[in-house]
Amino acid sequence: MHVEHLLQDETLGLHLLWAEHALLERRISGVTVTDLEDPARFVRPGEVVLSGLVWWTPEGGRDKADRFVAGLRDADAAVLLAGEETHGAVPGELIEACARHGIPLAAVPTDVMFRAVTDTVYLQQWGELSRHHALPESARARLSRLLAQDAGPDAVVAAAFAHLGRAVVAQVLTPAGRTVAATEGGGGLSAPEAAALLADGTGTTLPVDADAVSPYERWYLYLPDPGAAPPRMLREVAEILARCQETWFRRRAAEHRAADGLGALLVAPGAEPARLAAALRACGLPAEGPYRVITADTGARRPGAAVGALAEAAAHAGTGPAAVGHLPDGTAFAVVHGTADVMSEAWPLVAACEPSVPLHGGSGRSAAGPQGLAGALAEARYALESARNTAPDASVLSDATSLTSLDRLLTGVPSEVRAVYSRTVLGPLIDDASPSGAPLLETLKTFLACDGSWARTAEALHLHVNTVHYRIRRVEHFTGRDLSRLADRLDLWAALLCHADPGEGTAPAVRPGRPSTARTR
C-alpha cells in the first residue's frame, strides 16, 4: 500500500495539504498514533503517523511544529495525518514545517476516527500479502482490529489460534522465563522451568522481533508441540505480536518518563512532600509505604539496558505497581511497593538473558513512607557501587544491609576515593620505588592481624621481636600514626583494605585470633 492509495480512499475523506508527487509513491509499512512533542524514537521507517495535535499550541507554534516534523523526517515517516478536531483546522505553521522537511501532510476530518485509518492500512497490507500467509482472512481482520484497540498479548494469542478448531497450547515468554501471555492450558510453568525450555530448544520457539526492546524484555512465541500449528502461521503470529509489543513499549515510555521525574525529586535535597506525593501518583504507586528501592547498571558493554533489566525483574516479582526509570546521572532505579526482597530470586534469571554483560544491582532497607525514599535510594546506590567494585565481571545484586564489616563497607566507596585514601595514609609504604616499603607494609598487615601482639607478629614473620619493634616505629614515622592508639590502628587497617582488591580485604600473614592484651609500648 502506498501513500497515494491511502489518500484516495473515499471512505476516509482525507484532505491533502502538502506533498510532492514522488513522496506519494512511498510504500507504507504501518501506523503510529502519537501526540508526543518529539515522536522520533517511536516511529518506524515508512509508517503513517496519526496525531491529534494536542502537543501544538499557538505560543511558540512554529518552533513546536518544526521540532515535531523534524522528528518525523529523522525517523523516515511516510506521511503525517493531522486531526482537525483539537484546533478546528490544521495550523499553517505545521503545513509550512512539512514543506520545509519534505513530509507529506493530510488532514483527518473531525468525523473520522483514527482507528478507521489504522484498520484500513492493516487490512490492506494483510490483504496484499494473503497469498504468502497461513492465517485466514477472518483471523487476520480480527487481529488487525485487536491491534488497533491496543489489545494485550493475551487477547492476540487467543485470537491467533482460535480458528484452528482445537486447543493449542502456546505461550509468550521472556528469556528470563516470565509468562507474558498464554492460551488456555498454557500457563503454570515456573520462570526457571520456562527459561530452561527456551534454552534447551524443546518444542517450537520463534523470536518476536520488536524494535527498540531491550534484550531482557524481548518476547518469544513458544509451543511445546512442534506440530500444533503450521510454521508459516507461527511466523505470522510472531510478526503480529511484534507490533503488539511495540505498542506496549511506546506506552511504557510515558511510564518511564514519570519515573524519571520521581528519581529527580529523590536526589534533590529537601523535596516537598506534596511534589513527592504527586510524583508517586504519576507512577501509579500508593501514597503510603512501605517501599523498596533498587538500582542497577549494565556498564559500558550494554549502556542503557539496565532499565529493561529492572523492569523485567520487577515484573517477575509481581508485587504490584513499580516505577522504573533513570536518575539524573543515568543510573537505572526502581521503586517497588512492599517490604519483601522482590528482586533476588529473579536477578540470576534476568542476568542470564545477557550472560556476557555484568548486571550489577543494589538495594537497601525498605522505606516506611515517601519521606524515607531518598535515604533508601542512597543506600541502594551505595550497595550498587559495592556490587560493581566487588565483582566487576559478574552479575551481582548487593544489599546495603549485608555490608556488616569494615571491608564489606569499604567496597561501596568509589575506587578513586579508596585509592586516594590508601595513598594518603600509607604514603611511602606503598611506593614501589621505596625498597623498604614492601617489608614495612607486610609487617603492618601482620601486626594488625595479630591484634598488636609483638610475639605473634615476630613468630608469623620469622623475625626477632626487636626487628618487629624497629619496623613498626618506621611505619609510625612514615605514616604519622601511633599504633598504640585504637583510632590510628583503625585508620591504617582501613587504608590497607582500600589498597587491596575490593572484596578481598588484605592478606595478613596471620588471621586475627584471640584479642591480645599486648601493647605497642
pLDDT, one tens digit per residue, over 300-330 is: 777 788 999 999 999 987 767 899 999 999 9
Please determine, for residue 420, whether its predicted confidence score (pLDDT) is greater than 60: yes
- Residue spans of alpha helices (H) in 48-87: 61-75
Summarize the confidence of residues 385-406 as an average pLDDT: 90
Please determine, for residue 348, whether its predicted confidence score (pLDDT) is greater than 60: yes
**Cell digits for 190?**
515456573
Select, from the ranges 337-346, 434-443, 464-473, the one with the highest average predicted confidence (pLDDT): 464-473
Contact 354, 216 (CB under 8 A): yes
What is the rounded distance in angstroms from the CA atom of residue 317 to the CA atom of residue 175? 15
Residue with grid cell 522451568, as numbered in its chain: 193
Assess whether the previous peptide bond of 91 is cis (omega < 30° from 0).
no
User: Around 386, how many Cα atoms within 13 Å sit in the side-chain half-sphere?
Assistant: 27
Q: pLDDT band at residue 344, thresholds of 50, 70 and 90?
A: confident
Summarize the confidence of residues 88-112 as an average pLDDT: 94
Q: What do you get for the CA distance between the two ends of the chain, in Å?
A: 92
Closest CA to 457 of 57, 313, 449, 37: 449
Percent of the chain scored above 70 by pLDDT?
Answer: 93
Contact 256, 339 (CB under 8 A): no
- Helix, strand, coil fractions of the chain, as percent rounded to 5: 45, 15, 40
Which residues, 6 or more positions from 507, have their beta carbon under 8 angstroms from its beta carbon?
445, 500
What value does the mean pLDDT of the chain take?
A: 87
What pLDDT was estimated at residue 402?
87
Contact 48, 147 (CB under 8 A): no
What pLDDT was estimated at residue 387?
92
User: Around 496, how many Cα atoms within 13 Å sit in the side-chain half-sphere?
Assistant: 23
What pLDDT was estimated at residue 468?
93
What pLDDT was estimated at residue 44?
85
Catalogue all structural domains in the chain, each as residue range(s) with its CATH number: 3-119 (3.40.1390.20), 133-247 (no CATH), 281-403 (3.30.70.270), 415-499 (1.10.10.2840)
What pLDDT was estimated at residue 88?
92
219-276 pLDDT, tens digit each = 999 999 888 888 888 989 999 999 999 888 888 888 888 999 999 999 998 889 999 9
Summarize the confidence of residues 15-34 as an average pLDDT: 91
Closest CA to 354 of 175, 172, 173: 175
